[in-house]
Amino acid sequence: MEEIYTWMAHIQNNSELVTQHYLGKTVENRTIYYLQISQPSDKNKKIIWMDCGIHAREWIAPAFCQWFVKEILQNYETDPKIRKFLQNLDLYILPVLNIDGYIYSWDTARLWRKNRSPHMNGTCYGTDLNRNFNSSWGTVGVSYNCSSEIFCGSGPESEPETRAVVQLIESKKNDILCFLTIHSYGQYILTPYGSTNTPPSNNEELMHVAQTAAAALMEKYGTIYEVGSTSLILYSNSGSSRDWAHMIGIPFSYTFELRDKGTYGFVLPDDQIQPTCEETMLAVTTIIDYVDQKYFPGGAMILTSGSLGLSLCLTAVLTLIVP
C-alpha cells in the first residue's frame, strides 16, 4: 500500500492531467485518495467513476486501476479514442477503497475480504463494504452476523469508507454518467440489480454496451466474459455500490469480476496480471467510448457529415420527384 500512496503522489507530480484528491478516512484512520484525470478545458464536462479494491483479497483490482491510469497517461496524446473522450469526460479513479483490509491481506491474512471495523467489543472484525450501501440495504444476500464475510454492517452507510464514496458521488451525481466497480474473480460484466430480479429501465442498453465491451475484451486473448444482471448470473445481493449508483440516477453502472474462473481465484499468478489488465482496458474503454458518443455526439465527425450528405441528397431527390 505504501507503494500505491507513493505512486499516486508521483503520478500527480509528473502529469499535468492528474490531480490527487482527498476522499475520506478509513476505520483505522488512513487517508483515502482518488485521482482525477482531466484535460484542461472551459467546457462543462461529465464524469466517469471507477473504483478498485473494495474487497481486500481481490488484488488484481487495484492493479488494474493503476494500469488504467498509466495507460491513459501514456497514450492520450497518440490514441485518438482517448484524446476524444478526454475532451468531454473527466476520469475519477479510486485505486484502493478498502485500504485497511488491503493492508491486512498483505500483512496478515491473504484471503481477508471486508474492511477492519471492530464489532462486539472487538471480538469480530469487518463489514462487507459492498453490502453496506443504501440500496435495499440488508434485504438479501447479506448476514447480520459480524463474523460473516457478507456482514452488511450495523446500518446502511455505517462504515466511513462507504460514506466517503457516497459523499463524493452524491455531490457530483448529476455529472457522473458511468460508475464502474472492479472486483475478482469469475470473468463477468454485471449489470444492476443484485437486490431484485426486476431489470432497470435502461436494461437493454446496459446489456448491449456490456456485450460490446465483452466482445472487445475477448478479441485480445480469447478470454470469455459473461454478461448479465447480478441477480441472474452471480447471486442476489443487497447494499452493493453498483445498485446504489444506478438507483441514484447514474445510468451506466457495472461491476467487473476480473480473471480467473476459479482455478487460482483470488491468488491470480503474476504472469496473468498484465494480460488481464490489457484485455480489461479494452472493455472499459469500449464502455467509456459509448458513453462519450452518446452524450457528446458531435465528435463523430465523419459519420455526421456522411449522413448529412445523404439527407441532403434525399431532399434533392424528393424535391425532383415532387415538384
Partner 1 sequence: MFALNPNSRQASRAAWVALHYSNYHGASPSGLRALRHVMKVSAKMIADVGVKYYLQFATEDYISGQETGNCFATVLYQKKSKPEVNIKCARTQDQKQIQEEDRRVFQYLRHQTKPITANKIPDSHGNIEHALLPVWALAVAGSSHIMLDKSKENVGYFLAQIRTAKQWIRKDGAVEFEYTILLHKTPTQEMDLCYMNVLWSLHQVLTAKYICASESHQLDDGSGQEFGSAAETLHKKGGNFLQGLSASHTRSMGKLCAQPEAAITFPSKPRYSKRE
Instruction: Give one DSSP letter per residue of 107-119, joined into a string.
Output: HT-TT--S---EE
Cβ proximity to partner 1, 107 vs 170, nearer residue? 107
Q: How far is the CB of 55 from Zn ion (least distance, A)?
A: 4
Angle at alpha carbon of residue 319, lines to 314 and 323, rounded to 5°: 160
- Sketch the per residue contact string, 146 through 175, with partner 1: x for CB under 8 A, - otherwise: -xxxx-------------------------
Cβ atoms < 10 Å from Cβ of 304: 12
13 touches partner 1 by CB under 8 A: no
Of 157, 159, 257, 279, which one is the catalytic site residue? 257
Q: How far is the CB of 51 from Zn ion (least distance, A)?
A: 11
**Coil, helix or strand for 23?**
strand
109 touches partner 1 by CB under 8 A: yes
246 touches Zn ion by CB under 5 A: no
Cβ proximity to Zn ion, 58 vs 159, nearer residue? 58
275 touches partner 1 by CB under 8 A: no
Question: Residue 183's binding partner, choosing from Zn ion, partner 1, none, with beta-carbon cut-off 5 to 8 A by kind?
Answer: Zn ion
What grid cell was written down for 146? 459480524
55 touches Zn ion by CB under 5 A: yes
Count of residues binding Zn ion (CB under 5 A)? 3
Q: Applying CB under 8 A, which residues contact partner 1?
A: 106, 108-113, 123-125, 128, 141, 143, 145, 147-150, 224, 226-228, 232-237, 261-270, 272
